[in-house]
Amino acid sequence: MMEFSIQQIAALIGGKIEGDGNKIVSSFSKIEEAEKGNLAFLANPKYEEFLYTTNASAVIISEDLTLKQAVDTALIRVKDPYASFAFLMQYYQQIAAEKMVGIQEPVYIDKSAKIGENVFIGAFAFIGENAIIEDGAKIYPQVYIGKNVCIGKKSVINPGAKIYHDCIIGNEVIIHAGTIIGSDGFGFAPQADGSYQKVPQMGNVVIEDNVEIGANTCIDRATMGSTIIRKGTKLDNLLQIAHNVEIGEDSVIAAQTGISGSTKIGKRAMIGGQVGIVGHITIAEGVKVGAKSGINSNVTEKNKSLNGTPAFDHLSSLKSLSIFRKLPALSKKVEELEALLKKLATGKNID
């Protein structure tokens, strides 16, 4: 457990202290659940009531917040409480990680592998032939690192992740538990007799710097060349990214999305959960795709928002959904009008 004074915390985030800056905090908590020794934050106005009852030793708040009553806790005023709190949690985690160095036993490290300084390798990890683990990397227990794999500086490979041969992982990448990098792409050639012949997958996967990949995600190696995840991209849990896909820098993709082979996604894309994207298409930079949507053709307009299956303009899709919900009532009215027309056609009394 690490301890920091409120003065130290304020200095880290450029905050202004109101109250006792000598108090010590050792952990983080939500404002409504905080206890003595906890640091909390207030960013959403709907939680302001907890500021006046919290047991936290310190709370990070906005520099613009006007208090409705006196508080018992110390305050740290900053421009953006949420961003400051996130920075502190990351800083705390980084310090804790830096203390983890050395090689646990048992592990297998091939004699040809190159291990940098201040590296941590957990028990039952496998480091293959000619693999490179650069300075400050953390390889947690039961990780598999294949032949010729390179793990960049300060990258973190969490328990049970598997990185197949020839794949390249950049600096400060985080790969969560159970993720598989470099499994074979889904390549099978149909034969005359109706069977399928496997197409060898000879490429690799390249993960650039500052990428984070959630748990149990699968990123397939390229048939030839590379499947590429560009720098700064954040991928959620349970994604399927097929062979030769390229995802542009600083994109975010939510859980259970599937991207078919050879599709290229531009930088700063935002893709919701359970989206399906067909193969061999291009999606422009800045495109936003709503959850459960299906993309089946090129998206050439930058920063376009899409929704639905097949996906089309977001606002139009919402209008269409509104109309769809009214279809039962509209159908009933149509039936009533048809009955009325039949009566008129036969000359019956319509009273």
Q: Which of these is catalytic: 165, 243, 280, 314?
A: 243
Residues 196, 71, single domain; the answer is: no
Q: What is the arithmetic mean of pLDDT over 282-288? A: 97
Question: 220 lies in a domain?
Answer: yes
Query: Is 176 considered catalytic here?
Result: no
The last residue of a domain, from among 70, 98, 126: 98
Residue where a domain stops, chosen among 98, 124, 150: 98
- Supply the pLDDT for residue 351: 59
Residue 9 is predicted with a pLDDT of 95
pLDDT (tens digit, 9 = 90+) per residue, 7-58? 999 999 999 999 999 999 999 999 999 999 999 999 999 999 999 999 999 9
Range of weakest confidence among 116-125, 176-185, 321-330: 321-330
How confident is the model over 193-220, as pLDDT tens digits?
Answer: 999 999 999 999 999 999 999 999 999 9
Considering the domain architecture, whether residues 304 and 339 belong to the same structural domain is answered as no
d(CA 322, CA 89): 42
Do 25 and 170 share a domain, yes or no? no
Mean pLDDT along residues 138-163: 97
Contacting residues for 238 by C-beta, under 8 A, at least 6 apart? 214, 215, 216, 217, 255, 256
User: Is 90 exceeded by the pLDDT of residue 87?
Assistant: yes
The CATH number of residue 167's host domain is 2.160.10.10
Indicate the average pLDDT of the chain.
93
Average pLDDT over residues 179-197: 96
Burial class (CB in 10 A: 0-12, 13-18, 19+), 222: buried
More confident residue, 244 or 344: 244
Query: Does position 66 have pLDDT exceeding 80, yes or no?
Result: yes
Q: Percentage of the chain surpassing pLDDT 90? A: 83
- In a domain? residue 322: yes
In the predicted structure, residue 324 carries a pLDDT above the cut 80: no
Indicate whether 189 and 305 sit together in one domain: yes
pLDDT value at residue 339: 83
- Same domain for 197 and 126, yes or no, is yes
Residue 314: left if φ>0, alpha if ψ -120 to 50, beta else—which one?
alpha
The answer to the question of residue 143 being in a domain is yes
Which of 168-177, 305-314, 328-337 is modeled with the greatest confidence? 168-177
Query: Are residues 152 and 183 located together in one domain of the fold?
Result: yes
Residue 99 has pLDDT above 90, yes or no: no
Helices within 195-326 (DSSP H only): 314-325
Residue 175 lies in a domain: yes
Q: What is the mean pLDDT of residues 68-83?
A: 95
CATH number at residue 82: 3.40.1390.10
At 168 the pLDDT is 98
Mark whether 8 and 153 lie in a shared domain: no
Are residues 122 and 92 located together in one domain of the fold?
A: no
Among 203-212, 288-297, 302-311, name the one with the lowest average pLDDT.
Answer: 302-311
Q: Are residues 90 and 111 in the same domain?
A: no
pLDDT at residue 1 is higher than 70: no
Q: Please tell me whether residues 180 and 234 are part of one structural domain.
A: yes
Total domains in the chain come to 3
On whether both 36 and 115 belong to a single domain, the answer is no
Structural domain includes residue 267: yes
Give per-residue pLDDT as tens, 330-340: 888 888 888 88
pLDDT band at 326 (very low <50, low <70, confident <90, very high): confident
124: Cβ–Cβ under 8 A, 6 or more apart, which residues? 106, 107, 141, 142
Write out the two tokens for 54: 């919290």
How far apart (Å, rounded) are the C-alpha atoms in residues 337 and 50?
58
CB atoms < 10 A from the CB of 334, how many?
11
Residue 264's φ and ψ, nearest 5 degrees, are -115, 125
Of 35, 64, 98, the one marking the end of a domain is 98
Of 259 and 92, more confident: 259
> Is residue 280 very low, low, confident or very high in pLDDT (cuts 50, 70, 90)?
very high
How many CB atoms neighbour CB 145 within 10 A? 30
Domain residues for 320? 316-346
Q: Are residues 59 and 32 in the same domain?
A: yes
Q: Is residue 351 part of a domain?
A: no
